[in-house]
């Protein structure tokens, strides 16, 4: 059982992506560096920051960065732990997200997931590769998960 969020949990998603190249080929290649931030919502919580590099049909890098570090990414998906956990639970319970828990829906109005980018073209990469990102997170179906409190 892996804990969400953790580097090991995201590394498992990357491994699943790499093992399922055919599913990603159907969506088209993705060359993008992006980050995910789990925002702290209380003084007892620490923010967490992860960076991912997608090259063609694989995830060639997933690393954890120090909170507050510039992730050197095209964009960063920012949300609270509760938002991320709810999305992952929904994906696992429904064998994929319901309409209210897809990345597209959750980021559509920049709430509860905000897509932070330095310019519009970088932000547009989230929309351009949206199905790839959703497929990536759908890998959570195959990860026995314990959620951080």
Query: Each residue of 32-82: pLDDT tens digit?
Result: 999 999 998 888 888 999 999 999 999 999 999 998 899 999 999 999 999
Give the pLDDT mean for 100-109. Answer: 96
Cα–Cα distance measured from residue 108 to residue 113, given in angstroms and rounded to the nearest whole number: 8
Among 68, 143, 69, 140, smallest CA distance to 101 is for 140
pTM of the prediction? 0.96
| Domains parsed from the chain with CATH numbers | 2-147 (3.30.1050.10)
């Amino acid at each position: 059982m892996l804990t969400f969020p953790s580097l090991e949990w995201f590394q498992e998603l990357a491994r699943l992506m790499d093992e399922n190249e055919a599913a990603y080929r159907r969506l088209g290649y993705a060359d993008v560096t992006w980050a995910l931030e789990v925002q702290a919502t209380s003084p007892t919580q620490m923010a967490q920051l992860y960076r991912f590099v997608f090259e063609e049909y694989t995830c060639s890098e997933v690393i954890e960065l120090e909170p507050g570090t510039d992730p050197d990414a095209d964009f960063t998906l920012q949300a609270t732990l509760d938002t991320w956990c709810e999305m992952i639970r929904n994906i696992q319970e429904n064998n994929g997200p319901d309409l209210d828990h897809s990345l597209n829906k959750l980021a559509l109005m920049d709430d509860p997931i905000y897509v932070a980018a330095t310019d519009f073209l970088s932000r547009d990469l989230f929309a351009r590769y949206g199905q790839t990102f959703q497929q990536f997170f759908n890998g959570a179906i195959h990860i026995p998960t314990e959620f951080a409190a």
